[in-house]
Structure 1
Amino acid sequence: MKREAVEELVTSIVETIIADTDMELVDVEYVRERDWYLRVYLDKQGGVDLDDCQMVSEKLSEVLDKKDPIKENYLLEVSSPGLDRVLKKEKDFIRYKGSKVDVQLFKPVNGSKQFTGELGDYTDTTITIITEKETMTLERSAIAQIRLHFEF
């Protein structure tokens, strides 16, 4: 099963598992690093706790064991997206508009591939980032990743 198909299937399963809870599915990743990892990121008001992650992990494992759609051996991780979460969905851009973000581009703009600034307006095709020096409207296709900025 291809990576995208695994992610779609797991998304559907997890959304069913958490339907009657106050949790939301943030993202699903099926990636090969040294081994294959199936990562599920959950969130809720006040943050998810270990019991939330354990419940979803157990129910998801049960369904995946029955259906057995993934042929490779993989490690399942269910967790919070963390303080520096990746923004991907429209609801992320709505929720975090005005927040400080780190933007990584595929190709340099003005000599740099990384910017930190305030998340401004967005459309289906563009995102505006307000930096200390300028306001930049970037094509979404040029953006490799946008994360919430975290200062230590």
Structure 2
Amino acid sequence: MLRDQLIELLQPVVVNLGYELWELEYAARSGGGLLRLYIDSPQGITLEDCERVSRAVSAAMDEDDPITGQYTLEVSSPGLDRVLRTAEHFARFSGERVKVETTNAINGRKRFAGRLTGVSDGQIALEIEGGLIRLPIDGIHKARVAPES
């Protein structure tokens, strides 16, 4: 899969610059694709950080050339409503409100919103209005932090 190939190529580039590759998205489009990287660091992300990563990633992409044809590269911060994909992502945001959509229905529903209370054994624990529910991470289609206003 191209996404896995891109992560394998670009994660070391981003990490060597002192950042975390939080997420990577690639969408093929007519007239050229869109490669979007979300980077993070404990100090936060500045425009200069994005420019620095963009230059290094562009050089790596030019050398390896995993995407045929034209594409646009975007590098940014994951933001307050960031995507959660891995066990590490969920663990880092334990205690926060999240919105989760599962691939298959669980107890008759696919969409859940509540407080993330923990991660263990490949599952997240989510405190929702009906109590506590456990959702398998590999069964999550989409998940995002839902910042409280």
Normalising to structure 2: TM-score of the pair?
A: 0.86
What is the root-mean-square deviation in Å for CA atoms of aligned residues? 2.1
Q: Distance in 1 between matches of 2:53 and 2:2?
A: 23
Say whether 1:32 aligns with 2:41.
no
Deviation at 1:6, TM superposition (A): 2.2
Structure 1: distance between partners of 2:9 and 2:117: 32
CA contact (8 A) 1:100 1:117 kept: yes
Q: Which residue of 2 aligns with 1:9?
A: 9
Q: What is the one-letter code of the residue matched to 1:32?
A: A
**TM-score (normalised: structure 1):** 0.84
1:113 is matched with which residue?
110
Match of 2:146 among 146, 149, 152: 149
SS of structure 1 residue aligned to 2:14: helix
Residues 43-77 of structure 1: CA distance to partner in whole angstroms, max 9, x if unpaired? Answer: 12342011110111012112222332322321111
Structure 2: stretches of 5+ with no match in the other structure:
none
Q: Is residue 87 of structure 2 the alignment partner of residue 90 of structure 1?
A: yes
Segments of 4+ moved more than 4 angstroms: none
**Residue 11 of structure 2 aligns to which amino acid in structure 1?**
T
1:103 aligned onto 2:87: no
Matches within 5 A, 1:57-76: 57-76=54-73
- Flag the 1:46–1:2 CA change in 2: closer, same or farther, 3 A: closer
Could you tell me how far apart the structure 1 residues matched to 2:118 and 2:58 are?
39
Count of residues in correspondence between the two structures: 148
